Amino acid sequence: MADSRFNPDHYSVAGKTIAITGAAGGMGRIFATHLAEEGANVVISDLNDQVHTTAEEITNELSGENIGKVVSCIVDVTNAEEHGKMVELALAEFAQLDGWINNAGVFPQAASLDITPQQIELALNVNVNGTLFGAQAAARHFQINGGGSIVNMASVAALRVRKTRGAYNAAKAAALHLTNSLATELGPDNIRVNAIAPGFIETAMTQWIYEEEGAYDKAIASIPLTRLGKPKEVYSAVRFLLTDAASYVNGSCISVDGGSRHL
């Protein structure tokens, strides 16, 4: 009979090595900080040198025993070959890679008839191609190393449509469907692929709702919990998917949106 006793280690990220794209700032930086704080080693990437500064800042912010290490490299997620740099860095620094977060994303905004070729191309290149290429790099390592966990950042926009976000809605819906395809194909290799769908979260990306007249009240009216989410609430869902506690969770999407997908 299988051992069904509660094991607190199943809920821990300590000792794991996690790679995160698009982590020079925003949610990626928050994920890296919390993971390192809990004892995970983290490889972060982004488009420019700011990612190195971010790694140093996180290291300086954290103190105490059992703190993980944060290292960095520059990666253009739209270039399939560059993702391999994150795998190589993880193995060189920590001799392992256990989880991968495809966090890099862009948020073009325009009415559907005003979407430019450049906007839709950028949205698909970063949010879809970047997710695919990251998953491929991670999965190729996981296939020969016993498995691992891939977490893709979708959005509530993948589940419901809002005006002036046609390019973003389409890209995030594609990223979510791609998650399901990857989960189906990679499951036999003990590779779990899941998605997170955040709603309105208090980050720089949502500052516009405080600046546009009436936007805040409209946003709150669309959220059954009647408040914006906090970044750590998104992290909690991501963290769960990276741990052994989620060992039978595959091809799922966890909505962290206060229920807004229903309104």
For tokens 């546009």, what's the residue?
212
Q: How high is the pLDDT of residue 3?
A: 61
Q: Which is catalytic among the residues 11, 168, 216, 248?
A: 168
**Domain 13-256: which CATH class?**
alpha beta
pLDDT at 2 (0 to 100): 55
Sheet strand arrangement including 253-256:
70-74, 41-46, 17-20, 99-102, 148-153, 191-198, 253-256
- Residue ranges for the chain with pLDDT beneath 70: 1-6
Domain ranges of the chain: 13-256
In this prediction, residue 1 carries a pLDDT of: 47
What pLDDT is stored for residue 43 in this prediction? 99
In this predicted structure, what is the pLDDT of residue 262? 87
Q: How far apart are CA 25 and CA 6, in angstroms?
A: 36
Measured at the CA of 80, the angle between CA 17 and CA 127, to 5 degrees, comes to: 80
168 in active site: yes
Share of the chain above pLDDT 90, in %: 87
What does the pLDDT look like over 215-235, one tens digit per residue? 899 999 999 999 999 999 999
The predicted pLDDT at position 206 comes to 84
Give the pLDDT score at 4: 64
Q: Distance between CA atoms of 58 and 63, rounded to whole angstroms?
A: 10
